[in-house]
Chain A
Amino acid sequence: MQSQLEAVSIIQALVAGGKGLAPSAAPWLNERRALALERANALRLPSIRDEEWRFTDISMMGRVPFQLPVPHSVIPDISAYVLPEAQWRLVFVDGIFNVGLSSLGAPVKGLSISNLGDAIQNTPQLVVGHLAQHAHYENRLFCAINTAWLRQGAFIHLAKEVIIKDPIHILYINTQAHATVNVRSLVVLERAAQCTVVEDFVGLGEEATFTNAVSEFAVASSARLHHVRVQRETPAALHIAACAVSIEQDGVYQSQSIALGASVSRYELEVLQKGPGVEVVIDGLALIKERQLADTHTLMDHAYGSGQCRQLHKTIVDGRAHAVFNGKVLVREGAQLTQSAQQSRNLLLSSDARVDTKPQLEIFADDVKCAHGATVGQLDQDHLFYLKSRGLSEARARNLLTYAFGAEIVARIPVRSLAAQLERAVMTQAQTTL
């Protein structure tokens, strides 16, 4: 109870901090921040007594002396996280945009990449229709706090028909012990634009940090967005994130989300279909051990018909770690010819590892194809036999299959250097080499 009270006081301090922020020059933004602040004041900290948070205990908020990051001039070494494929890179150190570490590449007509704060000032017409318009904060405390605090973040805008082949890398890197960081991404693709965005949440060192991240992705008609999300915060970190994706007619959103780090992490992905005929791929992988908890909540909202969604969420859980998956698929009335499939596959590597997985299908249309399935358990005996019949020992075969289980998701990441880094992480967890 004590920690609960302290957690509340942390939140109140954050909220108060939000109140103290200098108003932005943009009245529309001040208005949105004020509304969010109002909600942040009204909402209570979620606890395991709330159905949506029943497995995700964030009471560490009350035990760790989280505080606002102190301004400092130490420049972290990000070389291990630089993606050679990405000529565009936005780097935020403890939530603050770092222009020196960022790489804005050569200007490309129709492509805007900048700190969100600059975009609000310089190109508000690109921002106003989207910022805080997709991620709903009315009933979500952390999203409300993030919105009330909104001042910096990553902004990417592609004008219609602009196609960017190289990935765009957003690196959020935490360096200070106990830092509380609100980060925000806004990615807008106009009609028929295409790009790949990597959101990379990194923690240096071992100390606890608290990241509260909100991302908004607007995919206009016939646009294609590939979104890769990597959460590799410090082992003591608390990471709470929400991502809202809106897709218009015939738009495509594909994503791989990989959770490796943090003591407690929570990722809420909401994909809203805003027109007929969209295509959505949601892949997830949580690779956790010791006492880590990784919680993924997804919502695929088929508000229009003829949408296709394929979702595969995997977890590899070792030690006393705990993976949580809640996948909701909503097919609204009239959303005919929807095809939505969801699979949750979980591999437990120790007897103390735990998985809670819950598919939630709510279907209000009659001419749809929806499927879901969940497995929690061991490796397939026929797969093991196949490998052993090729000379591999039982242990080697098990480790290879564990690796393959995770690598299937990692292999779908279209950025080779990042996929290779993550493959090594999967190999380490699987205790195998190739």
Chain B
Amino acid sequence: MTSLPQPAMGKKLGLVIDLDICVGCHACAVNCKEWNTGGHAAPLTDRDPYGSDPAGVWFNRIHSFEAGDGAAGRTVHFPKSCLHCEQPACVEVCPTGASYKRSEDGIVLVNEDLCIGCKLCSWACPYGAREYDWDQGVMKKCTLCIDRIYNERLEVEERVPACVSTCPASARHFGDLGDPDSKVSAIVRERGGYDLLPELGYKPVNKYLPPRSPRTAVGSTGAAASLAPVVKAEPGGFLHWIDRILSR
């Protein structure tokens, strides 16, 4: 059913992405492609994969932006994947029932056996989370690694989305954003996590943590205000004599 499930669901699984520490290495995107081309939505096909103009299905893309000018300007690496919105228009516009939002955890998925490939869901998503698989004629999207997070064959610490498990900077967090006591909810509260395109009213579950204020003031990094002298020259000593000779 493409009508949204009733708000009975308390659980809202999602990601929290820390823009302060993302280094833009694209490892999350690569591991996402790697895992998911063998996972729930497999395969993630490519068009002309070994040719001069390759294009293909990815669930996670890392954009890099500049914000502000001059000394206040920042380079911000910006990973973007499905935000598993609370008001996912992509689900509501689906004419076949292929797109759906799970009532038990809020994950938005596509049933590829029902998808007719009309692409309307991708038009309805303001974030570009859905990518059409030209090869298979169906729409594909992030599954929040539903085949990892509940997978009892994996070690407990591996039961997180592939992007989260691979991030070398720990810029990505996974958890239940519907639970105010969860670790991710706490981080969002502390750091002022925010929604993308809030004016459209999709109520994304995924949150972004803003870059921290730059530390430009003297001493703000914990280092001393000025460097210690290289030579600690006691008056009258040998080093003092060397210092005087060399300072001429």
Q: Do A and B associate with each other?
A: no
**Interface residues, chain A, with chain B CB atoms under 8 Å away:** none
